Amino acid sequence: MQATTTPKLPRSSSRRSSHCDVNNVLVGTRRSPLARKQTALVCDRLRAVFPDLAVRTVEITTTGDQLTGPLRGENKGLFTSELEEVLMGGDIDFAVHSLKDLPVAPRPEVPIRAILARETARDVLMSIAGGRVGELPHGASIGTSSRRRRAQLLAWRPDLEVVPVRGNVGTRLSKMRAGQVDALVLAAAGLTRLGIDYHDDAVVPMEVMLPAPGQGALAVQCRADRPDAAAMLAAIDCPGARRTTTAERAFLAALGGGCAAPIAAYARQGPSGRLMMRGLVATLDGARVIRVAGEGKSAEALGRRLADVAWQKGAAEVLREL
């Protein structure tokens, strides 16, 4: 049997501050229960790879956490920019995000150095009565503030009433139980990480709803001038998750859409190592949906090529209303 070795902590020549050593790191996170759970997963992964590492979290309130109304398409980085500012200021070593919340235009000062192994990217229909999307009664109200989900729900069931619902997962579930909506659409990954059970038949089929680019993946940033931190994050990076999400985000970037646009994409690796991806662009009312699909070896090239196909099918007209 081949012996296994534990990676050594990298030496640091560019430390966070004069009293910080490389054996102790601070990880920035949003304050929501889900964000803290996700950050705990990152911290646990770091400790598993570097057993001598001391990890502490720093909770940061973002603009997105303080908003109560529906999100607007131009509000990019609502859940991420404050963490990035604190990271650039040197008060934390790493910043953890849901990858789908990060704008596709990178900030070179704080590159994404790790994407963890991806949780399922699917969405789940949570309702008091249970059942699938197609089994909801005529005119049922579904809570979601996602334009992507709204567009695809209405494309599938134009009779549904889509109601904006904001707040963390627990808040939204409480609103449903209080009768404000008949059902909710939530990310399966978030429910799993929070330990909230759901039935298999509550999972929305991909044919009905493609996920947001990067959904289910966690991204970790560090400063570009911190090679010691970058080396740590390289040890927990998942090449497969990075490759599939790169294709999805390349599709989103080529279409010029932000994380709030009604654009969806999902890529997976086939047995031969080739990527297979489906993408979607829709009007907010779901009246027009452009679907594309293809495969290729290069993640970036595949995402851009499918975006070109979407443009040829009329994506400009569909996105103009935004």
The DSSP result for 65-106, as a single string, is: HH--S---TT-TTTTTHHHHHHHHTTS-SEEEEEGGGS-SS-
> Collapsing DSSP states into helix, strand and coil, what is residue 133?
helix
Pair 54, 198 in one domain: no
Polymer length in residues for the chain? 322
State the CATH number of the domain containing residue 186: 3.40.190.10
Tokens, residue 103? 């704008």
When divided into structural domains, the chain yields a total of 3
Tokens, residue 166? 């904001």
Q: How open is the CA angle 36-211-289, to the nearest 5 degrees?
A: 150
Pair 51, 197 in one domain: no
Pair 226, 88 in one domain: yes
Cβ contact 139:159 at 8 Å: yes
Pair 233, 249 in one domain: no
Cβ contact 105:254 at 8 Å: no
Residues marked active site are found at 101
Pair 111, 231 in one domain: yes
**Per-residue buried b or exposed e for 228-256, using 16+ beta carbons within 10 Å of the residue's own CB:** bbbbbbeebebeebbbbbbbbbbbbbbbe
Cβ contact 100:214 at 8 Å: yes
pTM of the shown model: 0.88
Pair 106, 166 in one domain: no
Pair 33, 112 in one domain: yes
Tokens, residue 169? 């997962």
Quote the CA–CA distance of 4 and 26 in Å, as a whole number: 28
**Per-residue buried b or exposed e for 306-321, using 16+ beta carbons within 10 Å of the residue's own CB:** bbeebbeeebeebbee
Domain residues for the domain of 187 are: 123-202
Pair 226, 108 in one domain: yes
Residue 29 placed within a domain? yes
State the CATH number of the domain containing residue 284: 3.30.160.40
Pair 88, 226 in one domain: yes
Residue 12 placed within a domain? no
Q: Digits of tens for pLDDT over the chain (322 positions)?
A: 334 445 555 554 344 443 344 688 999 999 999 999 999 999 999 999 999 999 999 999 866 554 444 444 444 556 788 899 999 999 999 999 999 999 998 889 999 999 999 999 999 999 987 777 778 899 999 999 999 999 999 999 999 999 999 889 999 999 999 999 999 999 999 999 999 999 888 999 999 999 999 999 999 999 999 999 999 999 999 999 999 999 999 999 999 876 567 999 999 999 888 999 999 999 999 999 999 999 999 999 999 999 999 999 999 999 887 7
